[in-house]
Amino acid sequence: MRQNHENTGRPLDRRRFLTTAALGGATIVGASALGGLDADAAFAEPMPSLDPAITKSAFAEGRITRIKGSVLEVAGSYGDQHLIQLTNVTSIWKLRPTTADAVKVGDGLYARGVDMPDGTIAADAVWVNIVNLYVTIRGIAKDRLHFTHGSHETVGHVVPDTTTASYLGGALTPDLSRVRIGQAAQILGAWRPADDAIDIARVTVGH
């Protein structure tokens, strides 16, 4: 994260600059601001894939066995090895967007990037310890949810200012009070290797 380190001294200046640039000359994409409005446009090229850069991407997953500078050594689940190069523009998610400092040996990860000639993967995006579980809510406490995933009991911690919920396909909200015991839910979160619990990023119920 070279650039981030450079910026840590004055991240607000950097943001201020980017905001000014962004709001000054931005293209406003609204209902019809971009793209052809003539009938021919409807028959133009098919829609691009919604996942950016999907076609050029390399994927890797596994547990981090070693961190050497900005290179992560990853042991894949099927006995494969990967070297993941973090760059100054790699997005790193560990419960929330974070920096390379938060990545620890023993963490699991999914990485998407580009294969480099030297065999490493230059990561565009890294998701650390991300888990996506379909569970049944079994208990609700002030700072955590208890749920079963299959026959496994797991604890999901509610993280202030981070955990959000979505009800019946609605927008994500910090309001968690509508979660009910016995409900089926989808939990997106970050696994904690230390105690095998989960920090919850998102609870989706009634989907």
Partner 1 sequence: MIPVVSDLAPLVCAVLLAVTGAGKLFGRRTAQVAADTVLVRVLGDARRAALALRTIGGVEVALAAALLAAPTAVVPGAATAALGLGFTGYLGYARATAPESSCGCSAKQEGPIGLLSFSRAGLVVLGGAAAATADTSWWSRIADRPAVSTVFLVAATVVVGALTADLDRLWLLPLRRARIRLFGNPLPASAGPAGQVPVAASVELLERSLAWQAASPVVRSALLDSWDDEGWRVLRFAGVYEDMRGAHPVSVLFALDRTATIDTTENPAVRVSLIDDETEELVPADVLAPVPSRTALPLAT
Q: Say whether residue 184 binds partner 1 (CB under 8 A).
A: no
Residue appearing with tokens 């609204």: 30
Residue number, 10 or 66, with CB nearest to partner 1: 10
Write down the least CB distance from residue 83 to partner 1, Å: 19
Write down the least CB distance from residue 188 to partner 1, Å: 9
Binding mask 63-82 toward partner 1 (x if CB under 8 A, else -) reads --------------------
Binders of partner 1 among residues 39 to 58 (CB under 8 A) are 41-42, 44, 47-53
How crowded is residue 21: how many other Cβ atoms within 10 Å of its Cβ?
A: 10
Distance between CA 133 and CA 203 in Å, rounded?
Answer: 10
Of positions 2, 22, 76, 104, contacts partner 1 by CB under 8 A = 22
Q: Say whether residue 204 binds partner 1 (CB under 8 A).
A: no
Q: Are 198 and 188 in contact (CB under 8 A)?
A: no
Residue number, 66 or 94, with CB nearest to partner 1: 94
Q: Are 198 and 192 in contact (CB under 8 A)?
A: yes
Binding mask 145-164 toward partner 1 (x if CB under 8 A, else -) reads x-----xxx----x-xx-xx
Write down the least CB distance from residue 190 to partner 1, Å: 13
At 51 the three-state DSSP class reads coil
Residue number, 81 or 110, with CB nearest to partner 1: 110
Which among 194, 202, 79 is positioned nearest to 134, based on CA atoms?
202
Distance between CA 206 and CA 183 in Å, rounded?
Answer: 8
Of positions 172, 186, 197, 205, contacts partner 1 by CB under 8 A = 172
Q: Are 139 and 181 in contact (CB under 8 A)?
A: yes
Would you give the distance in Å from CA 62 to the centre of its chain?
16
Q: Which stretch binds partner 1 (CB under 8 A): 59-67, 69-77, 78-86, 132-140?
A: 132-140
Distance between CA 71 and CA 80 in Å, rounded?
Answer: 16
Distance between CA 157 and CA 96 in Å, rounded?
Answer: 14
Distance between CA 202 and CA 180 in Å, rounded?
Answer: 15
Q: What are the residues binding partner 1 (CB under 8 A)?
A: 3, 15-19, 21-37, 41-42, 44, 47-53, 89-91, 93, 97, 124-125, 127, 138-142, 145, 151-153, 158, 160-161, 163-164, 170-179, 181-182, 196, 201-202
